[in-house]
């Protein structure tokens, strides 16, 4: 089960202090009022003919998919849809693209947020940074080396599929609220302060992946 794994998040203190979180009230569990939103989410992810706003996920390279989400007609939601767990898209065979696609899938299908661009220029650096962090078994040991403003880390997971399916889902599931140490992954993934993300990986005794976010 993926919840036996771990993940880490960081961003500079001055950015954390100035970070705009869409909501800081979704701290509890699922309540009765959440059922209609969950039902609408199911409809949005299983059909492309439902009326509403259409978002193309994915970025400049790799396979993209188009999903219609009826919840998004009025723009971003103040809170993520509770218990949002959209099915993992088919792999493109490119880890960097799959990672960006999955992050954008959570942003759009779970909160109607605009997609992040794939930050291809930083991917080689993020691969090396992931390897350097893995070598010392230290999450964020080389934070900032690639010019990122925030970083999430999946340390020593089993394989690519577990990172895309398990780790990123676990990060999104943290939801909004404070303290940052308990919700930072979601905050980084959902922030409107960033426009792009680079996903790196290193496979040396486990799959280590850094996701670097930048304006």
Taking the C-alpha atoms of residue 128 and residue 201, their distance in angstroms, rounded to an integer, is: 8
- Give the tens place of pLDDT for each residue, 55-110: 444 444 433 445 677 889 999 999 999 999 999 999 999 999 999 999 999 999 99
pLDDT tens digits for 96-136? 999 999 999 999 999 999 999 999 999 999 999 999 999 99
pLDDT in tens, 26-40: 464 433 333 333 333
Q: Which residue has the tokens 């099915």?
A: 87
pLDDT tens column, 171-183: 999 999 888 889 9
Indicate the pTM of the whole model.
0.76
């Amino acid at each position: 089960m993926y919840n036996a794994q771990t993940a880490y998040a960081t961003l500079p203190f001055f950015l954390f202090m100035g970070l705009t979180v869409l909501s800081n009230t979704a701290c509890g569990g699922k309540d009765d009022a959440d059922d209609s939103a969950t039902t609408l989410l199911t409809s949005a992810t299983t059909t492309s003919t439902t009326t509403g706003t259409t978002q193309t996920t994915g970025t400049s390279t790799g396979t993209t998919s188009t999903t219609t989400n009826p919840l998004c007609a009025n723009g971003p939601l103040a809170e993520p849809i509770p218990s949002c767990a959209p099915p993992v898209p088919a792999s493109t065979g490119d880890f960097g693209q799959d990672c960006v696609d999955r992050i954008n899938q959570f942003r759009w299908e779970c909160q109607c947020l605009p997609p992040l661009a794939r930050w291809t220029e930083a991917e080689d650096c993020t691969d090396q940074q992931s390897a350097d962090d893995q070598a010392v078994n230290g999450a964020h040991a080389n934070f900032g080396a690639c010019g990122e403003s925030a970083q999430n880390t999946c340390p020593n997971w089993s394989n690519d599929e577990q990172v895309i399916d398990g780790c990123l889902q676990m990060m999104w599931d943290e939801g909004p609220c404070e303290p940052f140490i308990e919700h930072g992954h979601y905050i980084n993934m959902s922030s409107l302060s960033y426009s792009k993300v680079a996903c790196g990986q290193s496979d040396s005794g486990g799959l280590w992946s850094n996701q670097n976010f930048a304006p």
